[in-house]
Structure formats: structure tokens, C-alpha cells
Amino acid sequence: MVRLLQAGIIAITTLAAAAPRLLATIWHRIVPPIPPRRRHDIALGGQPADPAMRMAIDAVEKVFVRDFKWSFRRLPVSKVGIDARAEILDSGRPTGKFLPLQIRSIPSWVEAGGDYIHRGERSHLDYWAKHLLPVCIVIADARSGIMRWQRADKGNCAETESGWEMVVPAANVLDANAKFCFDEAVASDQESLMRSAFALDRELMEEVQDQTTFFVWDEWGDTTAIFSNLQIYIGEDGRDEPDIRIDYLLRADNLHDVMTRLFPWATYSYAEPIKEYSEEVAVHVLEVELRPEAEAYLEAEDFLVAGYPDEEEPCAPESEGYVTAQEEEAFWRSRGVSRGHRNQDE
């Protein structure tokens, strides 16, 4: 009886937790959300407030876009210390391979041609190691314009009382010649790529979760289509400006190839027909939701961070014919046999 009651309570709790999402889904089907109005004069999202930091990110972006011919995606202020991610392209096509970057601006180089000691937060390094993210640190010298880099794996880092530190060698100059070193640092197996994409976009996934979200892409006509100017709208407040804008310039046979490589955690559908402007650009408005696997990923991450819940040990069910010590003693007393006599017979 107690077990049935416990099962009933668990079932009721589960239904109560799922009810808001179920009601939201039903309402969403009855009253579809209105796609965002599109504007071209909006600023890039995720810009840091510090002018020196903006200049450093601008300088790093130029190297990856101009010299490496890769994409560069700036990220909003993050709890995990990632400022941007370089996205490796193959002849302009997305590969799904990402390189997370932590970018730091320093007022001037310590000494001409010398190494630099970079110090970071322990929580950042622990997160990167836990998710096998091949993070690179980039140091930008605001005075000379010189940029240097180093991989932030635990082999290059030494723990300190307040966090960790690592040497950024003077020889590791961030320029066109460094492209091979960065390419080699990124894993290419499918599982690692998926893990990196989920870990890097975890905060974006948390924003999208249970929110009406639209991705708006521009497609430029060419022998091979070019997809650019991604604008992301989260929520249903009807504003014109997107929450995030990413200046992509990607060659692909179709948009589905782009979405599955860059956002493997998302499932999408068209919110409205494809519109063409000036016979040059077509606009794709997609309604985006988390895949069930992404929902499970976020729940698992929350569980792992919170730790095992404080639960009482469950009681084992009594088997049929189970006799308690008191019942056994009463049985033998009814037959006039004492405990001492039974023990002697045994």
C-alpha cells in the first residue's frame, strides 16, 4: 500500500512538472508565434563593454577571417571564460570543427621578445578539461599590435593559490603561419565535435529552452549558395532587433547542411515561405527548438553540477511467506517449545 502511494505521488509530481510545457506546446500549436520583422541596421551582439577588449577581439578576428579563411563567432560574456570561437572552413564550407578562444588584452608587452605569464580562473580550466575543449589563449598587445597564443591544456598550466598560470611563448605569434598549429589542435572525430558544440553552446541552449526562437539567414545566389548574416531572436516580445547576430559567410549546397554542422543541438522548421529581395538575396526564417537530446544534455549537466540528491535508502519489498522474529517465536510457543530447546536440537 505504501509503495503504491509513493508511486502515485511520484506520478503526480511528474505530471505537475510537465504540465506548463505541455500547455505551452498546445498554445503554440493553436496560436503560432509571429516571425520577427527583419532589419539590416542592427549591431553585432555579444560585444564586450571594455574598448580595449573590443579592439583585441577585432584584431584576432581579422587573423582568423582574413588569413585563415575561417569563420569567427563572438560569444556573449560567458561563465566559462570563452570569448569567441573560430570555426574551421573547408573552401568556405562549414566542417563542424570549432576552436574555443579566450582573448585577453594587455596594455603593453612585458619586454621586447619576451614570454608572457597568463593567469586564469581555476573554474574555467576545470570546465575546459571536463568537456575536452581544446581552448587556446590569445594575448593581444594593444601598443605593438602583436598577438601570441598558447593551448590551455593542463600540461601547459601550473596551479596557483588563486587559480592557474601558463607561459605564452614569444615564438607563438598569431599570424597566417599559425594556421596549421590551430588546425591540428581540433579533434576531428564526430563524437568530439558533437561534445564541443554542445559544451560551447550550452548557455545559448539554456536561453532557447522553452522559448520561441527564430533564426533568420540571408542566402546569396551563386554557383554555390552563400549563407550569411545570421540573426537570432529569442522570446516573443515582438522587438525588431535580434538577441544575437553572427556575420557568417558560408558556402553550402543547402541550409540544412549549415544548420546540422553548426547547431547540431537544434531542430527547426520554416516559419514562413522563403522571401527574395532584389533578385539577389533570399531570406530564410526558421523556427528553432532544442532537440530531445539537447534537453536531456541540459538536465544531465544540471544533475552533475548539483550532485547526487539527498534521498533516503529505499526499503526492499517483503517476500511472500516472510515471517518476522516475533511471529516465529509465537509459533513455537503455541507448540510448547522454548527457544533454548530449539537451539539444543539444532
Residue owning grid cell 527564430 = 214
Report how far apart the first and last C-alpha atoms of the chain are (Å, whole number). 38
Nearest residue to 255 via CA among 265, 269, 242: 269
- How far, CA to CA in Å, does 89 sit from each of 1, 187, 189, 227? 62, 14, 16, 13
Query: In this structure, what are the phi and psi dihedrals at residue 209, rounded to the nearest 5 degrees?
Result: -55, 125
User: For residue 204, which of 116, 265, 130, 258 has the smallest C-alpha distance?
Assistant: 265
Give me the residues paired with residue 166 across strands.
118, 157
At 103, is the pLDDT very low, low, confident or very high (cuts 50, 70, 90)? Answer: very high
pLDDT of residue 319 exceeding 60: yes
C-alpha dihedral over 20, 26, 30, 33, to 10 degrees?
60
Of the listed ranges 69-83, 266-280, 325-339, the least confidently predicted one is 325-339
Question: How far apart are alpha carbons 129 and 43 in whole angstroms?
Answer: 33
- Measuring CA to CA, how many Å separate 51 from each of 45, 56, 105? 15, 9, 10
Give tens-digit pLDDT for 238-262: 667 899 999 999 999 999 999 999 9
- How high is the pLDDT of residue 27? 44
pLDDT at res. 302: 92
Q: Which residue did the predictor score with more confidence, 134 or 7?
A: 134
pLDDT interval class at 35 (50, 70, 90): low
pLDDT in tens, 271-293: 999 988 877 899 999 999 999 99
